[in-house]
Structure 1
C-alpha cells in the first residue's frame, strides 16, 4: 500500500508535485496531510515516519520502501507503473523534459522566495526583484521552447500530460496568485493545467483546509 505524507495543499508546492506524481500512477494510495509550522510540526517531523527525509515533505512509503523528494517520487512511480505516464516517448523530447524538470527542481529561488505558493489567493502583481523577473522570463522561455518543439500532440508542454507539467504546475498557480503577466500561449497553457482533473482536485481540496500560515498570506516566503 502506498502512503504519501504531505504538507498543506494551499502552500506546499513540493507536496503538490509529489501528489500529482502518485496520482498519475493510477494506484490507490493513502494521503496524510501534516500542517506545516503549526504547534506540533517540530515534534511530528522528528518521528520515525519522517526520519528518512529529515522531516521534509513529501514523503512516500510503499510497504517498507521509502522515497522522498518530489522528483525521486516521480521516478519511483514511473518505475513502479509505466514510464509512459511520466516522460515523452521521443528521445529528444524526453531529454528536454528531464532537463526542464531538473532545472525546476534546483532553480528559480527568487521566484519561490518572492511569490510563495498560495492557491487560495489572487493579488495584484507585486514589485519584484530583477532576479525574480529573470526567473519568470526563463520559465516562459522554457514553456515556449517545449511547446514549439514537442507540444503538437496536445495542450501540455510535451503534448500529453507528463512529469514536467507536474513539476511546473505549482508555478502556474504562483503566476495566477500573484497576477504575473504572461503572453497568450502561456495563458492558454496555464488554463489547460488548471483544468487538468488532478490539478483541479488538489486546488479544490486546498480551499477546505482550516490552516493559515501568515508568512505565506501577505508577504514573501519559500513554500
Structure 2
C-alpha cells in the first residue's frame, strides 16, 4: 500500500493536493502526519523525503516527492486522475501547472490556515490580479466543460490542485465572480475536504512562522482550532 507523508493539515496546502485526490478517487493509502518543525524543515523531513519537504509518496520503498510528480505517478497507475478527453486533460494540466507555479500574491499574502478567519489589512493590486485570474480560469473551465468540476462532471487532479484555494478563500473572506463563485463551496463540501478540515481543526500543533505571516497580513477575528 502507498504511504503518503503529509505535514500539518491546518497549514500544508501542498500536502492536501495528493491527499484529497487519493481520498476522493478511492486510492488506498496509509497516512503519516509529520508536524512542521520550527524553522527549517530540512533536517527533519530529509529523512522522509529527498527534497526535505512534504508531501512525499512512498510506494514499496520508492519515494516520489512534490505534489505534481505524485499526481503524475498516480495517473500512470490509476484511471480518473486526469480527464479522459484529450482536450479536457490538456486544459486541466495547464490549469494545474499554473496553480503549481503561479498565484504568488495569493500564496504569499493568504497563507493557508484552515482554522482561522482573517480580515486582511489591505488587498493589494497583485492580490486583486490573482483573484481576477483565478475567477477567469475557473469560469472558463466550468463553462467549457459543463461542470460541476473544473474539467467536467468528475473530480480530477486539477480540482485537487485548487482545493487549498477553497480553504484560503474561506479563511480570508475572499470571493471570485461569475459561476466560479460557487465552486469553492462545492470543493469544501466534498467528504474528503470535510475530513481534512475536521483533522486540521483538531490539531494542537502551531508553527510560529506561518502564524506570523498570517498576523502580518491581517487581523485574526476567529480561531476555530483546538487549544494549543
Superposition TM-score, scaled by structure 2 size: 0.86
Matched, 1:203 2:197: yes
Residue of structure 1 in register with 2:60 after alignment = 63
Deviations 1:87-130, CA, capped at 9 Å, x for gaps: 22222211111100010111111110100001101222441221
Tell me by how many angstroms 1:62 deviates: 0.5
Specify the SS of the correspondent of 1:66.
strand
Segments of 5+ residues of structure 1 without an aligned counterpart are none
| Structure 1 residues 174 and 39: CA distance shift in structure 2, 3 A | closer
Name the structure where strand makes up a greater proportion of residues. 2
Mean alpha-carbon deviation: is it higher for 57-66 or for 34-43? 34-43
Q: Deviations over 1:4-55 (max 9, x none)?
A: 11111000100001212332452321111111124895542242x22x2x21
Partner of 1:94 in structure 2? Answer: 89
1:132 corresponds to 2:127: yes
Report the equivalent of 2:109.
114
- Cα distance in 2 for partners of 1:65, 1:25 equals 22
CA RMSD of aligned residues (A): 2.0
TM-score (norm 1): 0.88
Q: Return the alpha-carbon distance in structure 1 between the equivalents of residues 158 and 113 of structure 2.
A: 20
> Take 1:90 and 1:40, find their aligned partners in 2: how far apart are those partners?
42
Shift in Å, 1:65: 1.9
Q: Taking structure 1 as reference, are residues 200 and 91 closer, same or farther at Cα in structure 2, changes over 3 Å only? A: same
Q: How does 1:29-68 map to 2 (within 5 A)?
A: 29-38=29-38, 41-47=41-47, 49-50=48-49, 52=50, 54-68=51-65
Q: Is the 8 A contact 2:39 2:209 kept in 1?
A: no
For 2:177, the equivalent position in structure 1 comes to 183
CA distance in 2, matches of 1:8, 1:93: 32
Distance 1:117 1:196 in 2: 18
Instruction: Tell me, yes or no, if the aligned pair for 1:126 and 1:178 is still in contact at 8 Å.
Output: no
Gaps of 5+ in 2: 218-228
Do structure 1's residue 103 and structure 2's residue 124 form an aligned pair? no
2:31 alignment partner, SS class:
strand
Aligned length: 214
Instruction: Tell me the residue number matched to 1:219.
Output: 215
8 Å CA contact 1:7, 1:34 repeated in 2:
yes
CA distance in structure 1 between the partners assigned to 2:90 and 2:139 by the alignment: 16
Greater shift, 185-194 or 54-63, is seen at 185-194
